[in-house]
Amino acid sequence: MDTNWDVIVVGSGLGGLTAGAYLATNGKRVLVLEHHYVAGGNSHVFRRMKKFEFDVGVHYLGDCGPGGGIPTILHGVGVDSIEFIEMDPDGFDTVLFPGLTFKVPKGWDRYRERLVATFPDDETALHRCLDVLENVVAEMVRVRLPVEPADVPRLAREAPHFLKWGLRPLSDLFDECGLGQKARAVLVAESGDYASPPSRAPVLLHAALMDHYLKGAYYPRGGGQVIPARLVDVIRANGGEVRTRATVERIIIEDGRACGVRLAGGAEFRAPVVVSNADLKRTFLELIGREHAPAEIVEKVDAYRMALPLFCVYLGLDIDLRETMPNTNYLLYDTFDIEGMYAQCYEGKVPQELMLFITVASVKDPETEAIAPKGCTSMEVMTIVPPDYRLWAVEDGPAHGEKYHRNPDYRAFKDHLTEAMIDGAERIVPGLREHIIWKEAASPVTQERYTLSTGGTSYGIEIATDQFGPHRPSPATAIPGLYLAGASTMYGHGISGAMRGGVGCAAAVLGRDLFGEVGAGAVFGDPARLTSGGPDWDPWEASR
C-alpha cells in the first residue's frame, strides 16, 4: 500500500473533491479519504428498494447555463459532459404563504416586476431594496478575496454599495427601505438555503444567493451523484486515489506542521500537504487536537456558531408526478413571521409553524429511472430544526460512538416530526399518504453520523454578519502544510460555495490564481483520460 502522497484530502465533500481534482490535474499525487461508504459528502445520494434514489444535498443549482459558475469550475478539470436540466423559468420556486402564492421567475427584471405586481403598496420600497441587492452583486466582481485594508480606497470608488451594505444584516436594508412584512417574507422565503434569519443574514449573502438562482435554476441529469462521481474520475484518472470507509482519526502534526494522517484502524499516510474538508471544529479540536493548534485559533474555532441543521423526510410514491407537477420546488409557510420561526429554533424548539421545502427529483429529471421508475416518484421534504442533543434525546452523539437508533424517545420524536411534515406535503399533493411505499427521515443526529458534522449541520459555521467574509477561515491556515476546504471557509456553503472553496484551496496550495486562469479558459485536465459516462455508467457505484 502506497503511504506517501503529495496531498492528502480528509473528506470527499465537493470542496475536497474539487480541490483534489484541481491539484491532481496540476501534477500532484492526491489521496482522498472518506468516512462514508460513498464519496460526495452532502452531494451524495442513497438508494432504497432498488427503486428509489434520494438526494442528500443536490436539490437544485443556479447559474449552470453556458459559461456559468459550476460548469466553468468543472470545465477547468476537463469535465464538460454533465447536462444541467433547467427548471421552470416562470417559477423554479413556488412560495406559498397563507392566502398568497408567489412563483419565483428567472431574471432580476421579471422577479422585480412580479414582486411589484404582488405588493403594489410596497412598490417604492421594493425598488429601493432590489436596487441595492442588484448593485451589491454587480460590484462583487470588483472584490477579490481576501480583501486587504489597502483595497478599501479603491472599493469606495468602485463598489460603494458593496462597502455600505455587503456585511450589514438584511433586516437593516428592509427597515431602511420601509418594506412591509409580507413583502419581506417573500423576499427571504429561500433563506432556508443558508439557514439564517434577516437579522443575522448579510445583505451580500442574500444578494448572491438570489443572483445565483435568478440566472436560472438547474438539476444535473442523472441525479446529484453525477457531480462528485465525475470529480472522483478526474482524481483517479490523474494518478490519485479516492478511498471510502477510511475514517481519519488524526491529522499528524510534527515540528509544528501537518505531515500526514492516521486512520481509525492505525494506518498512517504521509504528505507535505493535508487538506481538511472535514467539519471545522472537529478539524482543529479533535483531528489536530487543541495541543497542536495555536491558542488564538482554538479560541476562535471554539467560539464559532454552527448553522442550524435540517430534518429531511424521504418518500417513495407509487404514483408518478412527472406529468402533473410543474418543474418547481415548493416552499410552504404557515406564517409571515420568518424571524420568529428562526427565534424558536435558536431557543431549542421546533417551530410551531413548520417551514417546508418540498422537491421532487423525478420531476426535475424525468428520464433517469434510477431516481424513480415510470409510475413512481422520489420526493424529499425538509425543514430547519434546532441541533440540541436534548431535543433529540441523545447525550454524546454518534461522532463519539453513541448508539441512538433504538432509543425510544429519539424514535418517537423523529416519527412525530416526520408525520407532521407529511401532513404539510399533502397540501401540495392531496392524498399523498395513501401512495407512500417508502418512508424514512434523517435528523441532525443522522447527519452527524454520516458526515461527522458538529451539530448535524450541512452548512458549516453559521453564515451571519459576524461570521461572514473576512470573519471566516481562509484556505491557508496558521499551521504549515494544513489547508481547509468546505462549507466553513470564506467561500461559503452549498454546491457552488463548496466547489469555489475547493478551487480556492487548490490555488492556495499551488500559490496561483486558478480562478483567473480558469476564467481565461485554462483547462488542466485531459478529457480523454476520463472513463465516466456512457449508458451503463452508474455514478453511485463509481463513487464507492
pLDDT at 212: 96
Superfamily classification of domain 7-45+59-85+222-304+462-542: FAD/NAD(P)-binding domain (3.50.50.60)
> Can you read off the three cell numbers belonging to residue 397?
452523539
DSSP letter (8 states) at residue 229: H
Which residue pairs from 120-126 have beta carbons closer than 8 angstroms and sit at least 24 positions apart in sequence?
Answer: 121/180, 122/179, 122/180, 122/183, 124/178, 125/177, 125/178, 125/179, 125/180, 125/183, 126/177, 126/179, 126/183
The Cα 419–Cα 327 span in angstroms is 25
Q: Strand (E) positions, 228-282?
A: 241-243, 248-254, 257-263, 268-270, 273-276
Residue 31: which of 226, 227, 238, 225 has the closest Cα?
A: 238
d(CA 380, CA 378): 7
DSSP string computed for 352-401: SS--EEEEEHHHHSTT-TTT--TT-EEEEEEEE----HHHHT-SS-GGGT
**What is the pLDDT at residue 158?**
81
Bridge partners, 169 (sequence order): 202
Question: Helices 123-140 and 170-177, interaxial angle, to 10°?
Answer: 140
pLDDT digit string (tens) for the chain, length 544 residues: 678 999 999 999 999 999 999 999 999 999 999 999 999 999 999 999 999 999 999 999 999 999 999 999 999 999 999 999 999 999 999 999 999 999 999 999 999 999 999 999 999 999 999 999 999 999 887 776 566 777 778 777 888 888 889 999 999 999 999 999 999 999 999 998 999 999 999 999 999 999 999 999 999 999 999 999 999 999 999 999 999 999 999 999 999 999 999 999 999 999 999 999 999 999 999 999 999 999 999 999 999 999 999 999 999 999 999 989 999 999 999 999 999 999 999 999 999 999 999 999 999 999 999 999 999 999 999 999 999 999 999 998 998 888 898 899 999 999 999 999 999 999 999 999 999 999 999 999 999 999 999 999 999 999 999 999 889 999 999 999 999 999 999 999 999 999 999 999 999 999 999 999 999 999 999 999 999 888 889 999 999 9
Q: Domain residue spans in the chain?
A: 7-45+59-85+222-304+462-542, 107-215, 308-455
Q: How many helices (H) and strands (E) does the chain have?
A: 20, 20
Q: State how far the Cα of 21 lies from the Cα of 16, in Å rounded to an integer.
A: 9
Which cell is 72 given?
466553468
* The amino acid at 476: A
Q: Comparing C-alpha atoms, which of 329, 331, 332 is closest to residue 363?
A: 329
Q: How far apart are CA 536 and CA 389, in angstroms?
A: 43
Indicate the pairing of strand 61-62 with strand 30-33. Answer: unpaired
Q: What is the pLDDT of residue 153?
A: 80
Q: What are phi and psi of 47, to 5 degrees?
A: -125, 150
DSSP state of 493: S
Q: What is the pLDDT of residue 405?
A: 84
Distance of CA 157 to the CA centre of its chain: 33
pLDDT value of residue 188:
97
What is this structure's pTM?
0.95
